[in-house]
Amino acid sequence: MISRETIASAMYEATRLAATNLPPDVEAALVAALAEETEPLARAHLKESLENARRAAGGDGLVCADTGFPLFFVTAGSHARVEGGFGALQDAAREATARATADSFLRPTMVDPLTRANPGDNLGPGMPKVELRFVGEGDGLEIIAAPKGGGSEIFGTSYRMMYPADGEAGVLKFVIDAIRDGCYAGKICPPAIVGVGIGGTADLCMKLAKEAALLRTVRRAHPDPRVAEIERRLYAAARALGIGPMGAAGVNAVLAVHVETAMTHTAALPVAVNAQCLVGRRWRAIIASDGQVRFTGELP
């Protein structure tokens, strides 16, 4: 049985690592973008972002000051056992979030949506957000901490219920319009990782988009060839916008475009876009049934 204390500690450490270290695939994509850009301002933005990340990894600050929304994505094997039951995951996430905020790895940015009151610890209705899914027959847990910056969430989120007659061309136009609107003034801190959800219900569509942005290795193609081709076309079109890092001129408005799909109603064509900022904060904790924990910036 995995103890609640082990889970809370793993969530805290994964959050700390996400706030202070670039995931390896994100860093490699940023380095590649720097090698490609020729515009001085675009290059300066990338150089400063990479240097700031190197300082953060060395114990000097954070990869980005806006640590945004505290999000945890938990995957459990069907034989996993958690002290106190799976409901204890939310309590562990609250403990980890409050501790990470007190230790300045998260900024206290969560407020009441109506009164704007700030509790100072990022805790309240709906926060931290914990997504749980069961996969496979294992007896362990995998936790991805993904503190998501406010800019990418606020300015990088779009949704539309399209008509089936709009087809693939309509989907492509909607997504490119959303990328341009989010990137042109640097609002989502480009080059962004853009997630696209197609299908499902309204809430499932947005969930697909968010997970495509946060939970896939940069530019790992979708296994379905048709979906992978849509990703390729969107990525090429985004590069042709002439928007570069932080909205400067260039080619790297995005690091990747990831698409996920779900079955939907015959009368519907829901499409959602959700962006992740250039630092791509996420770190993974892998907890074995005996309580041993391993941390990695790589995704499965």
Report residue 87's pLDDT band, with 50, 70 and 90 as the boundaries: very high
**Across 254-270, average pLDDT:** 98
Do residues 141 and 15 both lie within one domain? yes
Q: State yes or no: pLDDT of 114 exceeds 90.
A: yes
pLDDT (0 to 100) of residue 249: 94
pLDDT (0 to 100) of residue 161: 98
pLDDT (0 to 100) of residue 212: 98
**Across 181-209, average pLDDT:** 96
The shares of helix, strand and coil residues in the chain, as percent rounded to the nearest 5, are 40, 20, 40
pLDDT-above-90 percentage for the chain: 99
Residue 117 resides in a domain: yes
Q: Which domain holds residue 182?
A: 151-276
Report residue 298's pLDDT band, with 50, 70 and 90 as the boundaries: very high
Do residues 126 and 8 both lie within one domain? yes
Q: State yes or no: pLDDT of 31 exceeds 90.
A: yes
Q: Do residues 273 and 257 make contact, with C-beta atoms less than 8 angstroms apart?
A: no
- In SS3 terms, 237-271 reads as HHHCCCECHHHCECCCCEEEEEEEEECCCCCCEEE
pLDDT (0 to 100) of residue 185: 87
Do residues 178 and 269 both lie within one domain? yes
pLDDT (0 to 100) of residue 155: 95
**Across 176-190, average pLDDT:** 94
Number of domains the chain contains: 2
Q: State yes or no: pLDDT of 88 exceeds 90.
A: yes
Measured CA to CA, the distance from residue 49 to residue 29 in angstroms comes to: 12
